Amino acid sequence: MTDNIWASWIVWLFWIECAIFGLGSTAGPFLPPVARALGLDENRAKNWAMRLALALAFFGGLMTVGASGWYLATFAGRGEDCNCKIATTIWSGIDIVGISTFPRFALTLYVDALSALFGLLIGFFTACVAWYSFSWLDRNPRRHSVAGAFGLFAFSTLLVVLVNNGFWLLLVLELMSLSFGYLVLYRGQQGGMQEESKTAIRTYLIVSHVSTICLAIAILIIGNNPRSPSLDFELFRQYRDSLPPLSRDVAFVFALIGLGMRAGMTPFHFWVPVAHPQSPTTTHAFSLGVAIKVAIYLMIRFFFEFLSPISWWWGALLLVLAGLTAVLNVFYALLSRDLKRALAYHSVENIGIILVGLGLALLFGSERFGGDVTVRSVAGVALIASLFHVINHAIFKGLLYLGTGCIENRTHTVIMDELGGLIRRYPWTSVMFLVGAIAIAGFPPFNGFISEWLTLQSFFAGIDVYRARDLTPVLMLVLPVTLIMLGLAFALTALAFVKIAGETLLGLPRNPKIVAGFKPGDAPVSMRFVLFVLAALCLVLGLFPSLLIPWLAAAVNGIGYDTRALRADLFDLTIAIQKSSGESIYLTSLAMLPIGMLVVGPVATILAAFVWRRFRPARSSPVWVGGEPYQPQTMQYTGSALSALVWETFQKHAAARRFEEPLPTVFALAEGRYVMEQINRGYNAGIAMVLRASTWVGEHLQNGDIRMYLLYIFGAFITVLLVLAVAR
Amino acid sequence: MQEFPPLFRSLIILIAQASFNAVIAPGAIGLLRWFNARLQHRRGADIFQPYRDLYKLTFRRQSSIFEPTSGIFWIAPPAILACYFLLGGLLPSLFLTDLPGAPAPWRGLDLLFVIYLLGLAKFIAGLAAFDAATPFGNISNGRQFFLHLLVEPVFLATVYALALKGHTSNLDRFIADQQQLSVISVFANPVMILVLLSLGTISLAENGRLPFDKPGTHLELTMIEPGTSLEFNGRGLALIEWANAMKLTFFVSLLSDLLFPWSLATKSFSATLLPGMLVYLVKLVAVIFLVALWEITRAKLRLRAVSGALMAALGVAFIALVYVIMTDYL
C-alpha cells in the first residue's frame, strides 16, 4: 500500500499526537477538583492544570506539523500515480453476532496528502493558539477548563481528518461539537449576557445535530452499496462506480446540507455569528480559522472521492450557493458593531470564496466534461485555488482573531465604535492587525490576493465549458452571475475592513469613558510573537506562493486530479490550458516581481521621505474642523456612516416595494337596482383589473428605468442568438 | 539591450515606462483641463500648470500634519503613489513585455492585478482618512467605496469578456494577438466596441470624471474623488495629486491601447521606440480630447443615481460576454 515502509510510522505518530491532545484535555478540567479533594491550593492547581493542558496541546501541535510536513515534503511532486496513501488499522473492531454484513466499526487511520495538509493546518494552529493562550488565559477563572476543552477540540478535529470509517467519523464529529459547545458557554460563564449565551448554545447544538443527521443519512446511502455494503471509506472508494446514480444525487444533497451547515453555507449561515462570538477569543482563531474548514475537507472527500462520477448540476448549485454565501455574509459583517461578530461573518464569507473554488472544480470535473481534458485540467486549478484559500484564510483570520484577543486583553471591549486610536497605544498589535486586514481584503502583496486570483482565473480558464451546447444557457447565467457576486463580495470586504481597521485602530478613542480602563503597554511579547509569525506568513505566502503550491498539488493529485495546468515558480504563476494537440486554450500568468516591488516601492519611498522630513520637517497642527472646538467622540466619522451609502442602497433594493391602490370608486353608480348593481360590480372589477394590470406594467415593466430596458434588449439578444445557435 | 539578463531587462523596461508615464501624467491632466476650457470658450491655463502646482506644493508650502495622526497618515501618499507608478510601468504603453518565447521574468500585465491594485490604493486612502480623525476625508471615502463597489463587478465582467475573447487575461498577450489582426477586424468587432464602452464608463467612474463627479468642484459636500485628499497638504497633497494624474494617464493609455493596439515596441529600445512614443502621445491626446468632448456635454449625476449608469455598463459587459460565447464557442 505504501511507497515507503517508514511512512506507516506517520500514522502511529498521528495517533500518538491524538493521545497527547486527549491527555491534555483530561488533565485540564479534572486536576483542580482532585486537588481540592486533597486539600491543596485550588488556584495553583488551576494554573498547573492549564499549563499542562496547553503544553501538551503545544507539543502535540508541533509534532503534528512535523509529521504532516515530513509526509508532504517526502511525497509532494510525485504526481497522480504516487502510491503513497497509508491506511493503518488501529483496532480491528468487533464482530457482532456473526452477521458478516453488519459493520465491524474498525478504527482505521488514513493519511494521504489531503489529510496531511489539513493535519498541518490543525497542528500549526493548535500550537499557535496554545502558545498564545498561556498569556491570554492567565488569571482567568476558567483557565483550566478552557484549556482542557481546547485540547479535546484539537484532538477531535485532528481525528476527523484521519479516520477512515463512517461510524468513527460521526463519533468524532460529535465529540468536536460537544467540546466546542463547552467553549460556547464561555461568555455566559464569565457573566456575559445570559440570554444570548443560552440562545447561542441551543442554536449550536441543534445545528450540529441536524447536520450530523444529514451527514449520517448521506453516509448510510453511500454505504448501502449493492456491491459491498459497508461503512469503511476504503470500500466507498473502491466500489464507488457501482453506486446507482439516483442514490449518488440524493447522497450529494444530504452531504451538502450536512456539511454546508457545519461550514455555514448560506441558507445555514445564521448560527456562526450567534455561537462563535460566545467562545473565548483565543480559541476563536482555531474554531473559525481551522475547525470550520473540516467541513470543506469532508466535502472534498465526499464529493470528489466517494460520490465520484459527478453530475454537472452539483457544481452549478454549489456555485450559486457559494456566491450568495460570500455576498450576504460580507454585507452582514458590514452592519456589525461587535468585532468578534463581524469577523465571524467574514469567516463565512471566506467559506463562500472557498466553496466557489470547490463548485468550479465540481462543475469542471463532472462526468459531463469527463472526456474533455482541457476542462478537467481546470478542475485541478480550481481545487488548488480552494485549498490555497483554506490555508490563507486560516492564517489571516487566525491573525485577526488573535489580534482581537490582544485588543480585548488590553481594552476589555470588542465594540468597534467605542474604540479608536489603538495604533498609538498598542503599535505592534495594531500593525499586525492591519496586515491581517489588508490580507483578508485580498490585496497584494499579501497572501489573500494569490488565492483570490487563482479562484478568478479558474473561472476564466474554464472557457471550454461553453462548448457544451445543451448546458450553455444555464452556465451562461450561473458562471458570470457568480463571478459578479464574487466581485461584489471582494469590494465589500475592502470596505468592511477599512471600516473595521479604521474605526478600531486609527483616529482617536470614540468613548473617552472607557479609555481610563485601558491597560498601559502593548500586549505581552508571547502573544505578539504569534501575531508576528502569522503576519510574516501572510507576506511570505503572498510573495512566494510557489513554496506552498507543490503541497497543494500533491493533495489534489491524491484525489485524482491533474494539476499540470498550473505552473508555479519564483517569478510567475502560469496557467496554461492546452489541448493534447498542443493548441493553447487559455494562457495567462501573474508576475511575482511587480508584487515584490509593491513592497520595495513604498519602503524606499518612506525611507526617502524620512530623509526629506529631517531636511524639511512637517509642522504638527491641531485638527481643524471649520473653526469649531474639536470633539473627537462626536466629530470623527464612524464606520456605519462610512458604509451608510452602501447599506441604504442595498436595503432599498432588498425591500420589495408593494403597490397597493384602493379600488377605484368613481365608477360606482347609485345603489338600489339589483341587476344594475351586478353589472356595476362586474364593470368595477373589470376596470379595477385593467387598472391594476396597467399600474403593474408601469411599475415593473415600463418604469422608465434604463436598466430595465437594457435587460429587455439583453433578453431579446439572447433569444435571437439562441434561436440562431439552435437553428444552425 | 538583448544581452542583459532578462530580469534586468524587465526591470529597466518597467522603470523606463513608469517614469515616462509619471512625467507625462501632470501634462495629461493639464491638457484635459485646457481642452475643457477651450471647448467652453474660456482661455484656460496652459498644460504645464499642473507641473507648477506640484512644484509649489512640494517646495513652497510647509506641510502640516494633524496631531492625532499616526504613521499611516504620512505613509499613505507615497504608498498610493507607488500603486499608480507600478501600474504605469506595467501597462504596455511603449513596450510589450510578453515577447513570444522570451524568458521574461514577467509576462505583461494581468488585468485582475489592475483591479486589485486600484482597490489597494483606495484602501490605503480610506485608512488615511480614518487616521486624520476628521469627517471630511471619510465623507468622500464612503462615496468612493460606494462607486468602487459598483465598479468592481463591472470590471470583472469586462475582463471576463476579454478573457473569453482573447483566451488570456494578460493585457500584453491580448494586445500582441490584436496586432496580428487588420484594422477592420479590430474596429468592426462588436465585442471590442462593447468592451470599450464598459471600460470607458469604468474609467470615468474611477477617475471621478463627469457624469460621476465634477472634477473642478470646490464644494466638499458633493465631491467624490477630490474629497479623499482634503486632509492632505504640502508634499503629501503633491504626491496624491500626482498619483491621481497617473491614474488618469493609466486609464487613458489602457483605452488607447485597446482602441489602437499597433505601434508598440516589441523589442526593447529598438529603432521602433521613438516613432512608437510619438504614436502613443498622439493616441493619448486623441483619447483625452474625446474625454473632454464627452465632459462638456454632461452634467453631474445625483450620487444615488450613479448605480444606474454603472448597471448599464454591467449590462453592456454582459452582452459582450454573451456575444463572445455565442460566436466563438457555439
Instruction: Assess whether pLDDT exceeds 90 at residue B52.
Output: yes
A641/B122 Cβ within 8 A: no
B110/A491 Cβ within 8 A: no
Our count of domains for chain B comes to 1
Residues 192-221 of B with CB under 8 A from A: none
Asked if the structure places residue B1 within a domain, the reply is no
Does residue B162 belong to the interface with chain A, where contact is any CB pair within 8 Å?
no
More confident residue, A145 or B62: A145
Residue B101 pLDDT level (bands cut at 50, 70, 90):
very low
Whole-angstrom Cα distance, residue A247 to residue A501? Answer: 48
B65/A618 Cβ within 8 A: yes
Q: Taking each helix axis as running N to C, give the angle between helix B190-206 and helix B306-324, from 0 to 180 degrees, rounded to the nearest 10.
A: 150
Whole-angstrom Cα distance, residue A345 to residue A329? Answer: 5
Instruction: Assess whether pLDDT exceeds 60 at residue A664.
Output: no
Distance from CA of A520 to the nearest CA of B (A): 18
Q: Which of A427, A506, A591 sits opposite B106 (nearest CB)?
A: A591
Asked if the structure places residue A423 within a domain, the reply is yes
- Contact between A104 and A42 under an 8 Å Cβ cutoff? The reply is no
Asked if the structure places residue A82 within a domain, the reply is no
The pLDDT of residue A672 is 44
The pLDDT of residue B132 is 83
| Residue A113 DSSP one-character state | H
Domain end residue (candidates: A589, A618, A639): A589
**Chain A, nearest residue to B103 by Cα:** A571
Asked if the structure places residue A300 within a domain, the reply is no
Question: Does A682 lie in the same domain as A574?
Answer: no
Identify the residue among B58, B167, B170, B197 best suited for mutation to test binding to A, counting A beta carbons within 10 A and taking the highest: B167
Which residues in A lie closer than 8 A to residue B67 (C-beta atoms)?
A: 620-623
Whole-angstrom Cα distance, residue A680 to residue A676? Answer: 6
Q: Which of A593, A619, A642 sits opposite B64 (nearest CB)?
A: A619
Asked if the structure places residue A615 within a domain, the reply is no
Whose grid coordinates read 453511500?
A222
Beta bridge partners of A621: B66
Asked if the structure places residue A406 within a domain, the reply is yes
Instruction: Assess whether pLDDT exceeds 50 at residue B28.
Output: yes
More confident residue, B238 or A703: B238
Question: Does A675 lie in the same domain as A567?
Answer: no
A506/B133 Cβ within 8 A: yes
Question: Does A565 lie in the same domain as A714?
Answer: no
Concatenate the DSSP letters of all residues of B238-283 into one string.
Answer: HHHHHHHHHHHHHHHHHHHHHH-----BSSTTSTTHHHHHHHHHHH
Which residues in B lie closer than 8 A to residue A636 (C-beta atoms)?
A: 133-135
What number is the average pLDDT over the span B313-326? Answer: 89
Instruction: Give how far Cα A107 sits from Cα of A19, A92, A93, A94, A158, Å.
Output: 15, 6, 7, 10, 14
Q: Is the dihedral of CA A404, A408, A411, A416 positive or negative?
A: positive
Instruction: Assess whether pLDDT exceeds 60 at residue A12.
Output: yes
- Contact between A601 and B85 under an 8 Å Cβ cutoff? The reply is yes
Q: Which domain holds residue B66?
A: 6-329
Instruction: Assess whether pLDDT exceeds 60 at residue B103.
Output: no
Instruction: Assess whether pLDDT exceeds 50 at residue A128.
Output: yes
Instruction: Assess whether pLDDT exceeds 90 at residue B245.
Output: yes
Residue A716 pLDDT level (bands cut at 50, 70, 90):
confident
What number is the average pLDDT over the span A45-57? Answer: 86
Distance from CA of B119 to the nearest CA of A (A): 8
Question: Does A669 lie in the same domain as A584?
Answer: no
Cβ–Cβ contacts within 10 Å for residue A640, how many?
Answer: 16
B329/A466 Cβ within 8 A: yes
> What's the pLDDT tens digit per position in A357-416?
999 999 998 888 877 788 888 999 999 999 999 999 999 999 999 999 999 888 888 888
> What's the pLDDT tens digit per position in B251-308?
999 998 888 887 776 655 566 678 888 888 998 999 999 999 998 888 888 887 888 8
Q: ω into residue A141 within 30 of 0, thus cis?
A: no
Strands (E) located in A173-267: none
Instruction: Assess whether pLDDT exceeds 70 at residue A677.
Output: no
In one-letter notation, the amino acid at residue A63 is M
The pLDDT of residue A658 is 36
Strands (E) located in chain B: 64-66
Give the least confident one: A307-316, A376-385, A630-639, B171-180. A630-639
What is the strand order of the sheet A584-591 is part of? A566-568, A572-578, A584-591
Whole-angstrom Cα distance, residue A446 to residue A441? Answer: 9
Instruction: Assess whether pLDDT exceeds 80 at residue A114.
Output: yes
- Contact between A43 and A50 under an 8 Å Cβ cutoff? The reply is no
Beta bridge partners of A108: A89
Residues 616-635 of A with CB under 8 A from B: 616, 618-625, 632, 635
Residue A98 pLDDT level (bands cut at 50, 70, 90):
low
Instruction: Give how far Cα B175 sits from Cα of A303, A584, B108, B170, B246, Å.
Output: 40, 17, 10, 9, 21
Asked if the structure places residue B84 within a domain, the reply is yes
Name, of A100-104, A130-134, A192-196, B206-210, the range with top average pLDDT.
Answer: A130-134
Q: Which of A444, A480, A710 sits opposite B116 (nearest CB)?
A: A444
Question: Does A660 lie in the same domain as A581?
Answer: no
Report angle CA B314, A595, A531 to the nearest 5 degrees.
105
Asked if the structure places residue A231 within a domain, the reply is no
Q: Which of B82, B116, B163 sits opposite A443 (nearest CB)?
A: B116
In one-letter notation, the amino acid at residue A355 is L
> What's the pLDDT tens digit per position in A230-243?
788 888 888 888 88
- The proportion of chain A whose per-residue pLDDT surpasses 70, expressed as a percent, equals 88
Q: Which of A503, A572, A645 sits opposite B107 (nearest CB)?
A: A572
Overall size of chain B counted in residues: 330
Asked if the structure places residue A442 within a domain, the reply is yes
Our count of domains for chain A comes to 2
Asked if the structure places residue A332 within a domain, the reply is yes
B148/A495 Cβ within 8 A: yes
- Contact between A248 and A224 under an 8 Å Cβ cutoff? The reply is no
Instruction: Give how far Cα B53 sits from Cα of A608, B49, B62, Å.
Output: 21, 6, 14
Instruction: Assess whether pLDDT exceeds 50 at residue B100.
Output: no
Distance from CA of B246 to the nearest CA of A (A): 16
Question: Does A486 lie in the same domain as A373?
Answer: yes
A609/B78 Cβ within 8 A: yes
Instruction: Assess whether pLDDT exceeds 90 at residue A355.
Output: yes
The pLDDT of residue A486 is 93
Domain end residue (candidates: A573, A589, A605): A589
- Calculate the average pLDDT of chain A: 83
Q: Which of A506, A625, A632 sits opposite B130 (nearest CB)?
A: A506
What number is the average pLDDT over the span A621-629? Answer: 76
What number is the average pLDDT over the span A243-261? Answer: 91
Instruction: Assess whether pLDDT exceeds 60 at residue A662.
Output: no
> What's the pLDDT tens digit per position in A195-220?
888 888 888 888 888 899 999 999 98
> What's the pLDDT tens digit per position in A494-515?
999 999 998 889 888 888 888 8
Q: Which domain holds residue A699?
A: 656-727
Instruction: Assess whether pLDDT exceeds 60 at residue A325.
Output: yes
Q: Which of B72, B123, B152 sits opposite A487 (nearest CB)?
A: B152
Domain end residue (candidates: A589, A605, A635): A589
Instruction: Assess whether pLDDT exceeds 50 at residue B161.
Output: yes
Whose grid coordinates read 470590471?
B155
B138/A637 Cβ within 8 A: yes
